[in-house]
């Protein structure tokens, strides 16, 4: 992955963190190879209070890893 691609991913992840922090509800779905043409299957809606913080935590860890990779590559 190039530095430009990594920087775009970092920006997108920062945007997602803000979006999930401000969300009222989160829709979670599954997708597999067989049914991928149909889009998401097995959708479930959660309130942001139920799942939002967990998603933000995962995204923050992902963001830290990407920033570390960016510093390593510079």
Burial of 23-56, coded b for 16+ CB within 10 Å and e otherwise, reads beebeeeeeeeeeeeeeeeeeeeeebeebbeebb
As for how many domains the chain has, the answer is: 1
Q: What is the pLDDT of residue 8?
A: 96
- Give the rounded percent of residues in the chain with a pLDDT score beyond 90: 65
Q: 14: domain range?
A: 3-73
pLDDT at 74: 75
Residue 64 has pLDDT above 90, yes or no: yes
pLDDT by residue (tens digit) across 10-34? 999 999 999 999 999 999 888 777 6
């Amino acid at each position: 992955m190039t530095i430009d691609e990594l920087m775009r991913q970092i920006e997108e992840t920062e945007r997602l963190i803000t979006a999930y922090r401000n969300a009222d509800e989160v829709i979670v779905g599954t997708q597999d190879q067989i049914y991928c043409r149909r889009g998401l299957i097995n959708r479930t809606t959660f309130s942001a209070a139920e799942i939002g913080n967990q998603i933000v935590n995962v995204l923050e860890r992902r963001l830290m890893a990407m920033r570390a990779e960016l510093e390593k590559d510079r």
